[in-house]
Each structure stands twice: as C-alpha cells, then as structure tokens.
Amino acid sequence: MFVSFCTSLLIELSIFATLATSLDVTISVTAPTSAATISTSLVSFSLEQDRWTDFSGTTARNQFFFNVLDNLKQLTGSPPNIRIGADSEDHTNFNPNVQFSQTIFPAISSTFPYPEATNITVGDTYYQTAKFLPPGTHVVWGVNFGQNNITAATLEATSIAKAFKTSDITNAGISLDAIEIGNEADLYKSNGDRASSYTSTQYTKEWTTFATQVISAAGITSSSHTKLWGAAFAGSSTTTTGFSPQAIFSEGILSSTPGALISTISQHHYSGSFCSGSGGLLQDLMTKSTIRGNLTTFKPDITATRAKGLDYVLGETNSYSCHGAPGVSNAAGAAIWGLDYLLFATQIGISKVFFHEGIGYKYNAIQPATLTRSITDGSTLSPPLAPHVQPLYYAAVIAAEAIGNSGNTHSVELALNDTSISGYGFYEGTKLVRAVLINSKAFLKADTSARTTTHINLKFTGTAPTKATVKRLAIGRADDTSGVKWGGQTYETSDGRASGAITTQSISVADGVDISETEVIMLSFT
C-alpha cells in the first residue's frame, strides 16, 4: 500500500514537473493581417560624432568596422543605416583648414573611461570618409544646434552635402537620408545650453530658424532625396505639452517650410541610467515585461507620428545611458535583451532601432578601435585590446538572419503565456518561414542550481510544417562577457567575420523543441 502510494505520488510529481516546464506555442502558417512589415535595416547604428573617423578610417577604411556591418548586409541584403551625431554633434564646429577633426576631451574617470569630447572641430575630409561605409549605406548626420551658433550649423550642412556629391560616395550608392539639427534639445535646459525655462515652443521657433538656413546650405528641397529628422528628444511627455512629437506638431513645426521636409521623428531611449554610478541588474534589463513597459510608453507618440505620414525610429538607444553599466551592458545577457527589444519594437510601429556606439562605451555592440584602457574602470590595459564585437552584436546578427533578404518580411509577436519566454513568427510575403524564441531568464555565474529547460510544444493554425531546423545562441552564463556562439559560430574574431562550422539540429515539429534559460532558438520551417 505504501509502495503503491509512493509510486502514485512520484508519477503525479513527474507529471506536474513536466507540465511546469512545458509551454504551448501556437503559430499561424499564414501571416496575420496584423503582422508588421520589417525593414531590412531594422538593425541600425548611431555613432558618437567625436570619434567618427575611428569607426570609418581616415586615409584607408577601418576594415574591422566595415566587416561587421557587411556581415549584416549579407544576411538582409541591406547594410545598417548609420546615424552620426549624438551628444558631440552639439559640440562640433567647422574649419575648412582642419584635416579630418581636432578634439578636446575631459579627464577620464572610472565611470567614464572614454568620455565624449567637449569640443570637436572638423573639416571637409571628415565628412568625406563616409566613402568607407558599405556600398548602399543610408546615412543621417547631425549638426550643432545646442551651442545656438547658426554659422556652425550651416557650414557643417554645406560640407556634409558636398561630401555626398563626391564620386567615391555616389559611386558606392551611399546616400544622405537626412540631416538632424541638434541632439536631445529637451535636455538643454538642464545642461546649460539654454535657460532653465526653455520650452518646446521656443525649441520649435529656434529649430525652424536654424532649419531654414540648413536646408538652404545643403540644397534640401521637396524633390531631393535628403530630408530632415525631427525631435531627437531624450524623453517624451507623450502629450501636447512638454517635449514630444505631439507638442511640436501642435506648435506648427510641420507647417513651416523646413518642417515640411521632416521625414522621420527620432526618439532616444535607454532602459536606465548609470550616470550616477550605480549599475543596473542584468535580470532587470533582460526581463520581458520591462522591455515591453519601456517601449509601449511611446505608443501615443508613434500613433501621432504615423498619423502625420512620418516614419518613427529609435534614433539613439541602448541598455543604460552614460555609456552603459559594467557587467551588465557588456554581458552576454545584453544579447537576449537586445534581440527581444529589437523585435518587439517592430510590433508597435518602430521601423528602425539605432543602437548607440562610441569608442570604448560599455554598451557597444562593436568596439571598432584598439582600446588602451578598461571600459569598466579606466585602468590601463596591457596589452591593449584589439577591435572586437561584444555580446550585443549577436542580437543584431540573429535579428538580421530572422528578417532575411526577401525584402518582403513581416513579423508577429506570438502570444505566449510565460513571463520569461517570448516569440516571434517571420513571414516572407504571407508564408511562415521562421520563428524566434527567446528565454530571458538570467542564468548567472552565482547560480548553483541546474539550468532550467522549457519544452516547447509547437502548434499551428493552418497546415503544419513537418520539419524544422533549429539554430541556437549558446551562452555560458548571462554575465559572461565573451564566449557567445550563434549556431556554433563565433564573431569574436580578429576581423569580425564568423568563424567555425555552423551547427544546427533537425527536428520533427510534432516532437517540439527545448529552450533553456538565457537562450535563443531560431526555427526554420520546411
């Protein structure tokens, strides 16, 4: 009787354990009407302007940077869009006698081992190095608005326009999509660039005056390819008061002559801040609900922007502001965060996500130049650290592979009843071709219990595929800073190209698939 009871109890516990670690995932084999159209340049990059030529190269191409961008182009058919500007765009002046750029930097600190320059002076050749980007790249360049020097802005705009008419750039099909006037003007009242009473109404008036001169200097008209980016605010009130798209729309920015040339509203966003010296927790960054809560805040702005027929992008974004949090922004878990962040953004009307990059920033996907001091505390590195990718780069690779090169990809978030696992279906035209599943539960170095696994029961609306190929993002621990592999390959190489044999798994769809904590899997259906 006792044996029978124990046996029965063990069976019940076994069943309960199986149920507790199983998840049903239903995927439509035909694209739902709600599926979002995905840009082949969804993954894009924002670059800090002060050290732009360290990314591009000066007299010769930075081959490492070119390679890591070209990797993404090979997957989607389009290179990432590049925005050059950020904080240092409002500290840039122009001198035709300067070759490339001259910079003045503040003292380094443990929080800012690689601070932004306080002054940048550039010449014509600085902008002309855009020729070293991958052919077909679309570029957005920022000009100085923060210092309220209209001469600087117009001289920069003139030089930018001239650069994009040179044969090296035009022959490569590299184009200037837009000029951005000023960076995070909503912060001017707190950083000293404007009075503490500065309002969006004043911004709109000043922007219109500056933009009138900029479009004249750059030759931007309603018939030209080049347009203007608007806003580029650090935050949003999401109402018609304060700084937001709705506010500047209500204040008449679009009805002005230069405002009619705005093609895109850019929003900046970070998931938290490290400026004060207290880092964020890695699991906080990765958490599924946090990602959605962060992004859905902007839904009113997106709706208002789309209603005006304008594009909406995250023109500067990353994990934690002020260059990232050590052991968090540069950790493998950032790849999990970045992928879910990218893919969820498409579901609420964000067309492109520009991950911000600087030389030596902790949150970089790409470190394109040799580093002589630690990104986490500023200590001297001996030997110096050669150019390399960081874990976030894998999010870009996986997203690009999921999008593919059809030029007609749509995506829908899968409805999953789980707080840690998210999923997305990808369609070429209306046909299901891939699905991505993301487990955002952080498996950390400090964890002593076994890594948990969830079994995914695949269900389909429509005629189910019978086979699938599985590709996995292999991460040792979420707080590792290297050793990540996608489908058996590493991008942590001296040239930024993938190394190693591709490893995949063929499964019967009816059998389902397992996914572990801190893991991504991609299913390609046949």
CATH homologous superfamily for the domain 37-403 = Glycosidases (3.20.20.80)
Give the integer Cα–Cα distance in Å for 219 and 453: 58
Predicted TM-score (pTM) of the model is 0.95
Whether the bond into 383 is cis, omega within 30 of 0: yes
Tokens of 199: 């309002």
Half-sphere exposure of 316 (CA within 13 A, CB side): 31
Q: How does pLDDT run along the chain (526 residues), one tens digit per residue?
A: 333 334 333 333 333 333 348 999 999 999 999 999 999 999 999 999 999 999 999 999 999 999 999 999 999 999 999 999 999 999 999 999 999 999 999 999 988 999 999 999 999 999 999 999 999 999 999 999 999 999 999 999 999 999 999 999 999 999 999 999 999 999 999 999 999 999 999 999 999 999 999 999 999 999 999 999 999 999 999 999 999 999 999 999 999 999 999 999 999 999 987 776 555 789 999 999 999 999 999 999 999 999 999 999 999 999 998 899 999 999 999 999 999 999 999 999 999 999 999 999 999 999 999 999 999 999 999 999 999 999 999 999 999 999 999 999 999 999 999 999 999 999 999 999 999 999 999 999 999 999 999 999 999 999 999 999 999 999 999 999 999 999 999 999 999 999 999 999 999 999 999 999 999 999 999 8
Concatenating the DSSP letter of every residue in 7-33 gives HHHHHHHHHHHHHHTEEEEEEESB--T
Q: Domain limits of the chain?
A: 37-403
Backbone CA torsion sign across 477, 480, 116, 101: negative
Reading the block at residue 189, the tokens are: 């009242």
Closest CA to 379 of 326, 445, 334, 321: 326
Counting Cα atoms < 13 Å in the Cβ hemisphere of 437 gives 32
